[in-house]
A and B are shown apart, each in its own frame.
Chain A
Amino acid sequence: MKANPRDVNTGTYYMDGDVAAGYGALAAGCRFIGGYPITPSTEAAETFARIAPQAGAVFIQMEDELGSIASVMGASWSGVKTMTITSGPGYSLMMEAIGLGAMIEAPFVILNIQRGGPSTGVPTKTGQADMMQARWGSHGDYEVIAIAPDSPQELFDYTIKAFNLSEKYRCPVMIMADECVGHMSEKVVVPPAEEIEIEPRRFYNGPKEKYLPFKPDKDLVPKMVKAGDGYNLYITGLVHDEKGYPIKNQLEKGKRQKLPTRRLVDKIRLNADKIIELTEEGMDDAEVVVVSYGISYRVAIRGIEIARGKGIKVGNLRLITVWPFPDKKISELASKVKAFVVPEINYGQIVFEVERCSHGQANVVLVPHGGAGVHNPEDIAEAIEYAVNEKKKIRKVVEWKTRLEKFVFEGGYKLNK
């Protein structure tokens, strides 16, 4: 299905990432955003609020983030495409509802423009420390999809993709951008509507009395209907059967009741190859591979250039999709290369996924950053140099001491014994 021309502001612009995400949401067919303003994501909500009323879409500023995310799921089941926009503190408030969203299989998108630090942190500066929260934030077993764009153009393109994925797999889809990407202004090309592919909602169109809201198709994703269309829906966050009714006693004699959680994880895990998007470059003879995402990828490009200038063979792997994690790809590479170097704006999140998937075959070096800024490319280059020259197999993640870390922490804290 193609985008509706009314929703697409075709042209070439100079705009920041947040604004591009707002345009992207409308182009994707988003008809409802419930949000609550928070730096550094507010411009995305403002943009949508300004352009939505001309397209029959609505933005409502809810009373808090708890309300925002709940309204988004309500709107999703009313039959429209929905999103909410936030940053760290608001994202934390939304966690409970993400589990509900996974459970009732409401398609929705969360745009998280990450800021630095825990709690209120550094509201106006960047960070990449919500990556694990995106995956594990709500209690219980479920899977999500998370995408990390690295430019305003990508915030436009991947916002559309996020909507498409959420409609296809009926799971929470997170756009895990960061403040740098959200607030950087660059050229953004908005293509004509007929060049934008959008995924329509998977509506059920069989006989009403036979509809089972949680009966999966072949790809493990069930079909949806709209609330108020007379299907006598019973949709609950409790563990439920295909009809949606709560499973009260799963050990009931003679009954084999399937818990939905198995399918909630399998619909993403088994479709992971179709979902995951990566870019790779210089892999053929690489001795070291830099694994990065978001703004860190753009910084890493320069670090890799410096290292290549010294004759080191470096591959560049970018995670566009961070969740589901590309286990297979990393495992494959681990048997071929000496080491992975992972620059990220936190003290180690995705690096541990890389370590997990390398199964001890390759060394893993973290280039950390405490937030509120990006890496110095020289540090990444030096970490690459170290990684290629390290002869020993090191059975843990090596934390590279960057200039900033040395300057601020003088080599790190030591515990008094």
Chain B
Amino acid sequence: MNPIITAFVNGIKKSGLELSNIVVVSDIPFEPEVIKEAGVDFFHVTRGRAIAFGTGLKLGNPDLKVVAFIGDLMTLGGNHLVHSGRRNMEMLVICVNNFIYKEIAGTPAPSVSPGFSAFSTFERPFNAPHLANSCGAVYTARWTALHTNELENSIANALDKRGFSVIEVLSPGPNFYKEINQVDSELLDFYYKNSVTKNNEDTRNVEITPEEKIVTGEFTDKEKSPFIDTYNAQLGKILGDKFIPLGGQSGRD
């Protein structure tokens, strides 16, 4: 987990944003102690609700830069992901994918590919960048936790985007597994060595399978009017001068 937080903090620095302006929301399976030191505001909410909580933060104060760190992106939080993509809610989602629910004894998550575990992983997984892209995300990328430099740049790029951005980070959660079944940080290395970077690759081709190399890179990068702009434009058209637009206006108290 720590390399991802480090990359996150460095990514913020590269983007030129103030740390104090960043609000991080995360859900239950993901509770990084290290974020205390990162200098950002941190909210740790009920499982799967980080994107929805972040939506409230953003609309309550449109000046905030909201980042959702999520483990349960595609299960409990699935609907929030889909609809935030649709409305292009301005937010960066970092999906930390370790294929399992780390804190619940390693049961498989819906992002795990068939074959990773002999008994339980026969279902077809979600392809996170493709799902996000299909829902309307303006930016998608995937890296492993060892792609520190690329991840930093990617986070900086995503923070610059105005819209819904999703970065999937593959991380095996080595701290937990070290003691239980001797899978230590070598697994992290395994992901890194078994990956191939293909920027701008069509997200349809980036599904993770046991047979092929994991495709990393920045996949989607497009421009689309974010929710608040669309909202302001639409209501401004209907209400004219009577409308008090969202964001940086005197009307809010």
A residues apposed to B, CB below 8 Å: 4, 29, 31-32, 34, 53-56, 58, 60, 62-64, 66-68, 70-80, 82, 96-97, 100, 104, 226-238, 245-246
Contact = CB atoms under 8 A, between A and B. Distances in A.
Contact of B39 (A34, A228, A232): A232
A77 B45 CA distance: 12
Contacts of B55: 34, 60, 62, 67, 70-71, 74
Contacts of B60: 31-32, 74-80, 82
Given A75-B57, A235-B41, 4 more contacts: A31-B252, A62-B55, A78-B57, A237-B44
Contacts of B80: 63, 67, 70
Contact of B20 (A56, A228, A234): A228
B11 interface: no
Main secondary structure of the interface of B (DSSP, over half): mixed
Given A231-B41, A237-B46, A75 B36 contact: no
B190 interface: no
B253 interface: yes
A70 B45 contact: yes
Interface of B: 20-23, 25, 31, 35-36, 39-46, 48-49, 52-61, 63-65, 79-80, 82-83, 231, 235, 239, 242-244, 246, 249, 251-253
A232 B40 contact: yes
Contacts of B253: 4, 29, 31, 56
A322 B242 CA distance: 40
A53 B20 contact: no
B61 A79 contact: yes
Contacts of A58: 59, 231, 246
Contacts of A104: 43, 45
A112 to B, nearest CB: 19
Query: A-B pairs with the 5 shortest C-beta distances?
Result: A74-B56, A78-B60, A56-B251, A71-B56, A230-B20
A55 B253 CA distance: 10
A395 B252 CA distance: 57
Nearest to A229: B20
Nearest to A6: B251
Contacts of B64: 78, 227-228
A56 B244 contact: yes
A55 B251 contact: yes
A32 B228 CA distance: 14
Residue in A4, A32, A228, A231 with the greatest tally of chain B CB atoms within 10 Å: A228
A53 B244 CA distance: 6
A236 B31 contact: yes
Contact of B52 (A31, A55, A70, A234): A70
A107 to B, nearest CB: 12
A237 B244 contact: no
B243 A66 contact: no
